[in-house]
A and B are shown apart, each in its own frame.
Chain A
Amino acid sequence: MINITINNKVIQVEEGTTIFEAAKQHGVLIPHFCYMENVHQIGSCRICVVEVEGGKTLMASCVTEVKEGMIVHTNSERVRDVRKVIYELMLSDHPKECLSCWRNQNCELQDLGNLIQISEFRYEGAKSKDIIDTSSPSIVRDSSKCILCRRCVTVCNDIQGVGLMNPHHRGFSTFIGPSEDELLGESVCTNCVQCVLVCPVGALKEKDSTAIVWEALYDKTKTIVVQTAPAVRAALGEVFGYEPGMLVTGKMASALHELGFNYVFDTNFAADLTIMEEGSEFLGRVKNAITAPGKNDVLPMITSCSPGWIKFIEHRYPDQLSNLSSCKSPHMMLGALTKTYFAEKMNIDPANIYVVSVMPCTAKKFEITRPEMFNNGLADVDAVITTRELGRMIKDAGIDFRNLPDGEFDSPLGLSSGAADIFGTTGGVMEAALRTVYELVTGRELPANNLHITPLEGLDRIKTAELKIENPLPEFSFLAEVTVKVAVTSGLLGAAELLNEIKKGTSPYHFIEIMGCPGGCISGGGQPRPVNDAIRTKRLEAIYREDEGKLLRKSHENQDIMMLYHDFLGVPLGHKSHELLHTVYTRRSKN
């Protein structure tokens, strides 16, 4: 232990603690800006400077480790003066258009201003940056608002391993982004938009789609269908002041009806359908690998629900595309079914149906523009809005969300199992798939703790499990005594690790689940801010609560899915399924 004095208080902290952490542990919260606990601690903004007696200059407390006998002042006249000047200099290169900024009232620079309180802008000078890049379907980058905190650089490089957001040039000319003339829309950006989640100001934002959704809602010639992803219900409440982890499924369904959507469907329905298709695909591949190697037997099979992950593999590991399941992501499946099965059933011209997806994800905004996602000239899904955008629309419409009654999803694409709910979190797709696959193969329920495969749950980067198949049904006798090995990862750095193994030929797994964002969709780029591990855990628990609260917890027991196969699709992997529910991938360049 190390003895130091902070603001005349003698305290003991562990060796290796930073001054910032030491102060925080003892009730002093040093004003800070770019700091993100355990994620981004590089001292780039200098707001957290403190005075250390004997030190020549002030020190950034988030990167300075304590030393025995250190005497620290966090609130001396010098510290407060300097902190104010640093803030004023930051403002001198930042546009003061707060009222027209999307982060108004939700901006960390404004929050800091509330602490520091300035009465005039003392430093007005040249502005260093003016690049506005709207080329991406998912992100808008307005570099004039960037304050160079480099949080996006950290997540893009160290957490996602994409390496697109980087600082360029030096000093006053510094800007953050892809290189000078490169546009985000033409780059290797995966559209995961974890950078937007951490941007403290309005420099990075999602491409707003609320305007086109409003327009569609006002168009009375159209039947407007909306669907919501599993992770949205576990986070939307935060926009309306609920604690993280509050489930608002019923209120969300009511709010969507109130907004004027004609049908409110549940993407979870298509998640159950994904399990049927993907599970059958997996069993087919395993069967081929064991009994007739050579055709359609590429293992490990990797899930394909996360469009950020898909774009990542297309750029970085184009030789491994055959490992991907050919299933479209659930919301694309539901979109395709809405414009075929549902249109037929309700006798509506599919050209007059407008499908909106409410997603925790911004990569879905890119996904709907992919040419494979069109059927007979019609887009499977017409618009994607994020959880944050839905929150804005509900507020804009003057809907009193907290006092809404609990509503229901509409039939026939609304019923879902608990297995579909857990699609929203890392490990969920794998668990849902194994619940169904194991039962199809053995005729018995998955031998797990309340259907949960504990080693696959939680926020660890890479999680693995093994499942030995004993006494399978006669048609799956080839699986007898086979130990199925699975792995789960979320975040693209973990994905790269598992893909490198596959590339080298050392991957021991049969089935891998990959989600592009750390923690899975619950902390997707379109979810409410802030996101940290504590909030991720609460949302994750909410998702499991939703699962456990249902009687129906296995995809293959969903009666509406059975009806869909009976009335329309035929069998999993059948002709209609291939046409509507499966897709192909594109090799893309690495840089």
Chain B
Amino acid sequence: MNPVTDLIKSLADQHGRSRHNLLPILQGVVEQEKYLSEYSMIEIARELDLPASEVYGTATFYSFLEYKKMGRYIIRICKTITCSMKGKNQVLLAIQDMLKIGVGETTPDGTFSLLQTNCLGFCHKAPAMLVNNEVFTDLTPEKVREILRMYMNKKKEGGSYDN
């Protein structure tokens, strides 16, 4: 059986199978899988006895529930005004230059995905970004290159999925 199916079953056992348990289950799958595949969404619909269309509608509503295949590390750089004024564009260029991907893309080896996000609440330490669940602030092009190198090494060493 597909491992996602087991994951969904255990999440449903843990959270419950009614409509209002949908969000924690979606979040649980994203935490493990980084995104919600069509297969996952249909499995969740089956498990909770909900229309698949409703699961899809919920998943696409929330920014942090990805529904396209994502890399192991999802970089979300803040696109709002304070970060922009404090040099986010240079940071973004540095990331794109180093990883050779644009916003919304994933590196061919499946290590990084690059996304933009709305305000992370770190305006006082702008510019800010998230890598999976970890926050990085006061970014500069040099600093962001260092951070990415750290994640690349982590991957080479066979580091864990999470931060």
B151 within 8 A of A: no
Give the residue name and chain of the B residue nearest to A177 (CB).
B53
Residue-wise, chain A 435-468 has the 8 Å CB interface mask toward B (1 for contact) of 0000000000000000000000000000000000
Contacting residue for A163 out of B41, B42, B46, B53, CB 8 A: B53
B45:A591 contact, CB within 8 angstroms: yes
Number of A-B contacts (CB under 8 A): 43
B45:A168 contact, CB within 8 angstroms: no
- Could you jot down 14 A-B contacts, CB within 8 Å? A157-B51, A157-B54, A163-B50, A163-B53, A163-B54, A164-B51, A166-B51, A166-B56, A168-B53, A179-B41, A179-B53, A182-B53, A591-B46, A591-B51
Residue-wise, chain A 155-185 has the 8 Å CB interface mask toward B (1 for contact) of 0010000111111111000000111101000
A392 within 8 A of B: no
From residue A122, how far is it (CB to closest CB) to chain B in Å? 27
B57:A168 contact, CB within 8 angstroms: yes
Q: Interface majority SS on B: helix, strand, loop or mixed?
A: helix
A590 within 8 A of B: yes
Residues of A within 8 A of B (CB): 157, 162-170, 177-180, 182, 188, 590-591
Residues of A within 8 A of B46 (CB): 590-591
5 other contacts beyond A168-B56, A170-B60, A591-B51, with CB at 8 A cut-off?
A166-B54, A167-B57, A179-B52, A179-B57, A591-B42
B57:A166 contact, CB within 8 angstroms: yes
Residues of A within 8 A of B61 (CB): 167-170
Residues of B within 8 A of A167 (CB): 57, 61
Q: What range describes how many residues of B lie at the interface?
A: 10 to 19
B60:A591 contact, CB within 8 angstroms: no
B51:A169 contact, CB within 8 angstroms: no
A165:B53 contact, CB within 8 angstroms: yes
Give the residue name and chain of the A residue nearest to B56 (CB).
A179
Rounded to whole angstroms, the CA-CA distance of A188 and B46 in the bound complex is: 14
Residue-wise, chain B 15-48 has the 8 Å CB interface mask toward A (1 for contact) of 0000000000000000000000000011001100
**B88-144 with Cβ < 8 A to chain A:** none
From residue A83, how far is it (CB to closest CB) to chain B in Å? 28
Most A CB within 10 A of own CB, among B52, B57, B61: B57
Rounded to whole angstroms, the CA-CA distance of A188 and B54 in the bound complex is: 13
From residue A499, how far is it (CB to closest CB) to chain B in Å? 13
From residue B77, how far is it (CB to closest CB) to chain A in Å? 20
3 closest Cβ pairs, A-B complex: A163-B51, A179-B56, A591-B52
